[in-house]
Structure 1
Amino acid sequence: MQRITRDTTSCASELLSALESKVQLLQRYFPPSVASLYAIPRSGSEDSLQWWSDLGGQPLPYSNLDPTAQQALLVRYNQRQDAIGRLVEELQQRGKADDASTLRTLIGAPDLANLYSLNQEPVIIRWGLPPQLPPAAAPLTPADTSPAPSTKMAPRRWWLRLPLWLILLPLLLLLLWLLWTWRGGLWHLLHPVKIGNYACTQGAQPPDFAVVLDTSGSMNLNINTSPDDERWLNQVGENLPDSNPRKARILAEPTRLTVAKQAFESMIGQLHPDIQTRLITFRGCQGTVDHGVFAQNSRPQLISDVQRLGADGGTPLAASLVEAASKVDGRFQDSLVVMFVDGEDGCDQNACDVSAQIARQQPRLRVNVVNISDSTLSNCIAENTGGRVYAANEVGEVQRMLREAVEEVANTPACEDATAAE
């Protein structure tokens, strides 16, 4: 945990307690990826107020970011806000009106002066505090009450001498820009342009591409593990020695993670050289890990990094989808996300609702799902975004289906017409 900033002003103990209870409520219902949106208030020395965060990295004020980073930070802020809004509605329906009312006070536009970026994650400080009033003007002294003699007339405000159209011109330009942006977003929402095969279109811009690779604990199970075997292992198998025949069979090679690594390496070998690959893995219900973007010359390093991955913890399916979507365009530029997973979200999040929201905000983002378990609860992600679903639990089938899942960015896709690019 690190301190972001310290205020010289003090905070009443009642208000500080109320702010801390809101943070605790967020932490109860959300993983750190959402709960960290609001900095943690703490009382410092001499009654000062300090703002802390569990996130690592250097705190960067919003104003210090470049325009691209600012836009990405606001997208992630809005996604966190959407998650809180959905929870408020759900709590209201479940009869938890007090919790819903408390969380509703956290919904709103960000104060950019108090918005920070920590490892590209949005963090708000000084939230929940009453607005600070400007300092009162000092009273005039008796000498100030009488005007000083002057032979000059008070100058008129310079802007009053400008023509009205020149004064309104900046406002008009701003309105035209907002109208263009709004109409563009609305058109794409009503007429989504689905991503095609990049290698089949002359002069196309390379789409953004990200892979979400499941590294939850269930990936340590044998590729042929049945749902009954998995339930048995979770209920009683963990208390048995590894020599137990059924447990030994469930944990035997090839595991889901082993197959995933093999299929991933095969997939990377099929990508078009223009395509840059972003890799996102799981960190249990604490969140996700963004390994960065790998160009063609960095693919051997990417494969090496994947081979060293282990599997542990829960399945933050919805959080990983939010992470991947925040790293690609998907609104004015084609984007593809491939999720290689073995089941549903295991961190109390609704991946179906999240994917539906992303589809509305990023209509040119397609998510293909490669599922190596018998669960179908992650299929809605592909259905909501116009993607495809692949299901398999055999080594050969998994490799083939992962290869088909990246058809849009493959080096030699099956083009539909003879005029396709070679």
Structure 2
Amino acid sequence: MQRIARDGVIDPQTVARLNARVALIKQHFPPSIANLFALPRTAEDGAVEWWTPLAGQPLAFASLAPEARDALLDSCRQRQQAIQLLADSLDASGRQEQAKTLRSLLATPDPQQLFSINGDPVLIGWGDLPGSPAAAPPSAADAGRRLWPWLLLALLFLLALLLWWLADNGYLSAPGERQPLTPAACRPAGAEPPEFTVVLDTSGSMELNIATSSAEERRLLHGGARLSPDHPDMRRLLSPPSRLDVAKQSFTQMIGQLHGDIDMRLITFAGCDNLVDHGIFPRSQRAQLTARIGHFEADGGTPLGASLQAAAKRMDGRQRDAVLVLFIDGEDGCGMDVCQIASRIARKQPRLRINLVNLGDSTESNCIAESTGGRVYSSRDSSEVAVLLGRATAEVAGNASCTAAGTPGSN
């Protein structure tokens, strides 16, 4: 995301309403349509900032050559016509409120609020903000003359939407096609570093001793024995070091080894019905990240499948390399098929690698790494876990081995 401009002060409710309109567009269109509208955010001083996911230099409409201006306006009109077509369709299906919301976006572009990013139009200051130009509906006299262009546009739009859906779901990708991922420390100068996300298991089973086997866990905790906390077997299961203690120590060491250009997103569990996205931590916030990890506690179920979906959704994996590390102690405990989810991710995001660090001895989740070209590391030895996590994060480490392109380091 990049900021295009700052504007006057608007209230948070207006910002939320405008973002909801863009979210409605995203339900029906590929990103190229929704990206016509820059996203408003409220700055700390109350000013509204306009942001876009498009990469490239924003060029004001007035700075463009005449031919570029005409092309930009034409591209803007095409996107608005597609939105108008969808609004008509929603009207016909009885969803008048959604249609009305979409039509509120069909204002005549103000040249002072129009930018070009690599030839794509981007509008700021849109919506029903003070000073926004009113929409200019087509006249009835023009309806017949414009009928055929609209029908042609409808067919082209439906075809484009179909192709986008097929590509987004991986059906236009060659099965098993996965390019080598170059570690951040080995990439050429100026090359974009990979995205990096970690899912840390904070479920209740992470409070068990690191040496606890799956068989012991099932027998003593899920077999109906209902042992008291004073029972010798329970005291042994709950004795230190716990799986979470070892995870915290290993993570602290791993964070210190990250490449300076890597920003890390962290996701944890809060039961089957809730995930916690702690956000992205750049290099300047790694001390805060380490401190936050130190306060985690183990509780609740294991929504591994849900966390896998959520993490992948927040990453590119198509145009940009991405690395996702799952630090877990077993399989999904919330009724989701992680193998099916991983297979779908592999089709949709061929540049996303998922590595698995498993503190248990179950192999049911190995399919996640196998489907996405990742690696599996498993151990119940506390002295080995930090080393294994280092191997699982070699693509984003500052000291990765570069003896072979795309080959992770060994530390």
Task: Please tell me whether the aligned partners of residues 194 and 366 of structure 1 are also in contact (alpha carbons under 8 angstroms).
Answer: no
1:200 aligns with 2:186: yes
Equivalent position of 1:157 in the other structure:
141
Aligned counterpart for 2:21 among listed residues 37, 42, 63: 63
Q: Distance in 1 between matches of 2:150 and 2:215?
A: 72
| Secondary structure of 1:293 counterpart | strand
Q: Distance in 2 between matches of 1:332 and 1:180?
A: 17
Q: Distance in 2 between matches of 1:339 and 1:262?
A: 16
Equivalent position of 1:225 in the other structure:
212
Aligned counterpart for 2:286 among listed residues 295, 299, 313: 299
Q: Residue 287 of structure 1: CA displacement?
A: 2.6
Equivalent position of 1:34 in the other structure:
none
> TM-score scaled to structure 1, two decimals?
0.60
Q: Which amino acid aligns with 1:131?
A: G
Q: Residue 133 of structure 1: CA displacement?
A: 8.5
Equivalent position of 2:369 in the other structure:
382
Q: Distance in 2 between matches of 1:392 and 1:399?
A: 10
Aligned counterpart for 1:242 among listed residues 229, 232, 247: 229
Equivalent position of 1:265 in the other structure:
252
Q: Is the alpha carbon distance of 1:132 and 1:313 closer, same or farther for their aligned partners in structure 2, counting shifts above 3 Å?
A: closer
| Secondary structure of 2:268 counterpart | strand
Q: Residue 361 of structure 1: CA displacement?
A: 1.3
Paired residues for 1:312-331 under 5 Å: 312-331=299-318
Task: Please tell me whether the aligned partners of residues 319 and 351 of structure 2 are also in contact (alpha carbons under 8 angstroms).
Answer: yes
Bigger mean CA offset, 400-409 vs 238-247: 238-247
Q: Is the alpha carbon distance of 1:178 and 1:347 closer, same or farther for their aligned partners in structure 2, counting shifts above 3 Å?
A: closer
Q: Distance in 2 between matches of 1:267 and 1:218?
A: 23
* Cα deviation code 1:237-281 (max 9, x no counterpart): 873332222211111000000000001111111111111111001
Task: Please tell me whether the aligned partners of residues 188 and 331 of structure 1 are also in contact (alpha carbons under 8 angstroms).
Answer: no
1:403 aligns with 2:358: no
Aligned counterpart for 1:340 among listed residues 327, 331, 343: 327
Q: Which amino acid aligns with 1:249?
A: R
Q: Residue 289 of structure 1: CA displacement?
A: 0.9
Q: Which amino acid aligns with 2:94?
A: P
Q: Distance in 2 between matches of 1:238 and 1:303?
A: 38
| Secondary structure of 1:291 counterpart | strand
Q: Which amino acid aligns with 1:402?
A: L
Q: Distance in 1 between matches of 2:317 and 2:25?
A: 18
Q: Which amino acid aligns with 1:216?
A: S
| Secondary structure of 1:377 counterpart | coil
Aligned counterpart for 1:359 among listed residues 324, 337, 346: 346
Bigger mean CA offset, 289-298 vs 200-209: 200-209
Task: Please tell me whether the aligned partners of residues 338 and 405 of structure 1 are also in contact (alpha carbons under 8 angstroms).
Answer: yes
1:286 aligns with 2:257: no
* Cα deviation code 1:127-150 (max 9, x no counterpart): xxx83689xxxxxxxxxxxxxxxx
Task: Please tell me whether the aligned partners of residues 211 and 381 of structure 2 are also in contact (alpha carbons under 8 angstroms).
Answer: yes
Name which one, 1 or 2, has greater alpha-carbon Rg.
Answer: 1
Q: Which amino acid aligns with 1:200?
A: C
Q: Distance in 2 between matches of 1:167 and 1:244?
A: 76
* Cα deviation code 1:93-148 (max 9, x no counterpart): xxxxxxxxxxxxxxxxxxx98xxxxxxxxxxxx9xxx83689xxxxxxxxxxxxxx
Equivalent position of 1:131 in the other structure:
94
Q: Residue 326 of structure 1: CA displacement?
A: 0.7
Q: Which amino acid aligns with 2:141?
A: R
Q: Distance in 2 between matches of 1:131 and 1:218?
A: 49
| Secondary structure of 1:328 counterpart | coil
Q: Distance in 2 between matches of 1:68 and 1:272?
A: 34
Q: Residue 395 of structure 1: CA displacement?
A: 1.6
Task: Please tell me whether the aligned partners of residues 171 and 347 of structure 2 are also in contact (alpha carbons under 8 angstroms).
Answer: no
Instruction: Calculate the aligned-residue CA RMSD, in Å.
Output: 4.0
